[in-house]
Amino acid sequence: METSEKIVEAYVRYVKGWATIPNIRCGGQKEVDLLAIDPKSGERYHIESGVSVSGTYSKLTDRPFNLKKLRTRTRQAEQRRTVGYFVDTKFEADAVRTELRRYGFHGRNYRRVIVSWGWTEEAGRSAARHRIELWDMRHMLAELTSTFGGKRTHFMDDTLRTMQLYHMSQHGGAKKEQRE
């Protein structure tokens, strides 16, 4: 599980209070990043993380997706930052849909989410047409650190602990805690 996926799972589990299942292997070398269920409402979520902080490829776009270009090493990054990539390879691939059904995710009984480091307006409209929600990683990080960053609790979750330490380093650390 890559770092951005761990952050997304920590956000969903600790801020939202949802149950999660990460990294579900599917046939054909496919994988579901995260399934989540809100125990209060029963709503289900299929969440895929596509975070890049590269200046050129940080935003999700609505550029045309091309499988042949995806297989070309020099074109992979741009292709993985398109709504079409997520639709074709992450949400609607047969192997993914088959595996989702095993977990009770079928038809329209769940919500689809892409987590990204921003997106273009066109990508937002395209995602909506494909019934995909877009979540901004920057907002998730801010909410996660503001929720847990200043707490003196020792978190066993490596992701939360790292974010807590970073928050403390940016906001006065132990000195601030002693004044509280």
Burial class (CB in 10 A: 0-12, 13-18, 19+), 101: exposed
**Interhelix angle 158-170/137-148, nearest 10 degrees:** 80
Spans of all domains in the chain:
3-172
Report the C-alpha gap between 1 and 24 in whole angstroms.
11
Is the pLDDT score of 148 beyond 80? no
The DSSP result for 143-166, as a single string, is: HHHHHHTT------SHHHHHHHHH
Q: What is the mean pLDDT of the chain?
A: 86
Give residue 4's identity as a one-letter amino acid code: S
| Least confident interval from 126-130, 140-144, 148-152 | 148-152
Residue 42: predicted pLDDT: 96
Contact 4, 49 (CB under 8 A): yes
Looking at residue 142, its pLDDT comes to 87
Architecture of domain 3-172 in this structure: 3-Layer(aba) Sandwich (3.40)
The SS3 call for residue 112 is strand
DSSP string, 6-55: HHHHHIIIIII--EEEEEEEETTTEEEEEEEE-TTT--EEEEEE-----T
State the pLDDT at residue 34: 97
The confidence score (pLDDT) of residue 156 equals 75
In angstroms, the Cα distances linking 107 to 99, 111, 146 are: 13, 10, 36
20-36 tens-digit pLDDT: 999 999 988 899 999 99
Q: Which residues pair with 19 in a beta bridge?
A: 37
